[in-house]
Every structure is written in structure tokens, then in C-alpha cells.
Structure 1
């Protein structure tokens, strides 16, 4: 008489369950706990003036992006002019890029029928000053146009340079006091840093993100200073 196997349907089910348990590595199926941002900063302790600045990465992400940037000496300024970076472009509803930045960066901003900001409150990232008159604000290019030109933008098409000069998606445009913007000029972080050291973390993260997005180069001194400024994050 043919012998039946010693295992039955119930035994097979138990074995399959055991195997399934082993394949999970013995870990719980519950989702991992939320972790704080790598920068150690939260929405509640962002640098004054960071409001409305889009696409600012965490310090950890910025550090990775910085490591991936190509290091090269500045290229020639030959052929450069601000006119090769058309701004401020029309953004619809009678608004241009400047007015869009003012609207997103301020609090209680009111605009007239021509989209001009007639009242509101703004905090300048670079020096932490509170401003209530939009005429005292400049819209700064985080990575200045001349710096971008020396870092690779000289080889771009006019269309790409216009997109760079009016970028509302990445942390390239911010409202700051006219005095700090003009002191900064076209200098990089190795030559100029915001007077308010509390903004260095945001500044370095934003600068690095823009350079990474547009695949612009950095000088060795620029990269070292950005690395130093990222060290201030989470303190």
C-alpha cells in the first residue's frame, strides 16, 4: 500500500506562515517614526526672511548637492550684460516677477489694480530688518546674474537665461533690503556673507540648490565657504 506523506494541509499552512515571518526579517510592519529635518530646523525656527522662499533643501540635501558641484575657476566676463538675462517678466494678471515675489514673501500684502504692493510687512533675510514700504526692497537674485555668467550661463540660450532671472520655483529670488542687496552686488559667498549670521544656513542651502539645479560651477573658495556656512545649520 502506498504511504501518505507525513505532512498534511494544516502543516503546510503553518510552514508557509513561518517562512513569511522569516522573510520580513522579524521587523514590525508599522511605519517608521517621523524624523526631524536633517538640518535640525523646523518651520517654526526658520531664519527670519525665509518666508515664501521656495525649494530650499535640508542641510543634508544641500551638502550632497554641494559635493556634486563641479569645481572650476570663474570664466571670462566677456560679452556679459544684464540685458542678456531679461527680467522682470510678465506673470499674468498685470503682475511681473517682482510683484509675485513681494506677494509671496510678505505678510498682509495688499496690491492695487496694477498689481503693485501698496502695503504689507516683509522681513529681509540678509539683515533681519522689518520693512513696511515695498519701495525699500530689492528683489535679489540669490546667485547673481554676473556670477551665473562666470559659472556657465554664458553658454546658455537667451530663453534659459530669462527663465533663470525670473525663476519662481527654486530659491533664486527673494525680497531683501536694498542696502544689503547692493552691498552684495555680484559677489559669491566666499566674498560676501549676509550680516545676519542666523541666515547663513538658509543662504548656503538656497545658493547650493540654485547652482545644483542649473548645473553651474563653483570655485574652490566658494565651495569651502558654503561648506562652512552649512555647518551653522541646526545650531
Structure 2
């Protein structure tokens, strides 16, 4: 075929179309942004707050019960707090008519594991309920404890590998930090954010552990 101006124009058009298709393909194959809890305060803000904290020994666990922190409460329609967090923290999450997550993908920030079954995930209370009880929540009303246990506004709830959450238990950062070291700065910023907002006390070992991590953030 003679290389006429018309042929040249057609070839340029074909190249442009191929480039456009390649661009679309790149967008389709690009990794989906990882969903996450609300962003915590900055490391600088966490350090500044921690500097003002006078450590206080933890109170007793006497009288503590998870039932004193009612959860998971209904958030909207058929969806309770756990299901809202699973939807928020997952990718391509599909829920049934009862709001249960039937498919999706979840990346556990604590250990770097990825799960495709909601049953493999726990919703971690960043500041555990028993820790909160010993840090001042024992004097709260049940209504306030309910708000704390279902707090979607602060970085208090996060979907993570179930057995990792169970290993954390009610430990503070002096006794437990995520095995995934890349997340530790975020973790302690979340912890300080929650304790600051809810006016919970911080003990001496806890303050030292938080400060040690924050010093490298």
C-alpha cells in the first residue's frame, strides 16, 4: 500500500488508540488503594501530647466485663459496627442482605497477611476494652463505654488477623506491638490519639514504650 498522507493519518490514529487502551489497562490493573481506619494524629502531635502526660499507675481489673462495653451496635439498616469496619477496611467487599461480608479481600496491617474470608478477621479495639477499664473507663457510664467500643470516628477499630488480635489481648504497647515493624509508628499514633481523645491514663512503662517508638517516627 502506498504510504500516502491518508495512510499515515490512519497509522497515527491506530497508535493513539493503542496508547489509550494501554493506559486504560494500566488503570484497571493498578492496585486498589488500601482502605484504613481514620488517620491518627501526627507523630509530632503524639510526641507533644505525650510530653504533657504525667504517668499514672493502672487501676484494677476488678469488676471488668466486656458486657459493660456494649458492642457491636447497629450503625445503619442491618449493619452493625463490625460489618461497617469490615466493609471500610476491605477491598471489593460484597455484603449480603443481612450486611454480612460474603466476599472481599482484607490486608492485616499488624502482620502483613491477606485474607479473603471475613471469618479470619477480628475487629481490634486499638485500646483494648480491659485496658480502657483500668485506665479510667471503670468510672464511665455504660452509654459512654458503648460509644468507646463502637468508635468509628477515631482510629480505635481496625480489621486484623484474628489470632494476632487474640495474641495482643488487652496488652498495651509496653507489652505488645505489631510484628510488622513498618506499621508501628502508625500503631502508636493511633494509640495516643485514642487515649488523648477519651481522656484515658497512661502508665509509666506504656509512656516509655510509646516514646521509644515515636522517637523514630
Q: Residue 218 and residue 50 in structure 1: after superposition, are their counterparts in 2 closer, same or farther (change >3 A)?
A: farther
Residue matched to 1:190: 174
2:208 to 224, 227, 234: 224
**1:62-101 aligned within 5 A:** 62-101=46-85
Whole-angstrom CA distance in 1 between matches of 2:52 and 2:85: 29
Whole-angstrom CA distance in 2 between matches of 1:70 and 1:84: 27
Shift of 1:181: 0.2
- CA RMSD in angstroms comes to 1.3
Whole-angstrom CA distance in 1 between matches of 2:102 and 2:185: 31
Gapped runs of 5+ residues in structure 1?
1-48
TM-score, length-normalised on structure 1? Answer: 0.76
SS for the counterpart of 1:149 is helix
SS for the counterpart of 1:171 is coil
Deviations 1:189-213 (A, max 9, x none): 0001111111100100000000000
Shift of 1:132: 1.0
Whole-angstrom CA distance in 2 between matches of 1:105 and 1:80: 29
Whole-angstrom CA distance in 2 between matches of 1:211 and 1:172: 10
Aligned length: 185
SS for the counterpart of 2:61 is coil
TM-score, length-normalised on structure 2? Answer: 0.82
Bigger shift: residues 106-115 or 62-71: 62-71
Q: Residue 50 and residue 154 in structure 1: after superposition, are their counterparts in 2 closer, same or farther (change >3 A)?
A: farther
SS for the counterpart of 2:75 is strand
SS for the counterpart of 1:128 is coil
**Which is higher, the Rg of structure 1 or of structure 2?**
1
Q: Residue 131 and residue 232 in structure 1: after superposition, are their counterparts in 2 closer, same or farther (change >3 A)?
A: farther
Residue matched to 1:34: none
Question: Is contact 1:76-1:150 (8 Å) kept?
Answer: yes
Whole-angstrom CA distance in 2 between matches of 1:70 and 1:104: 35
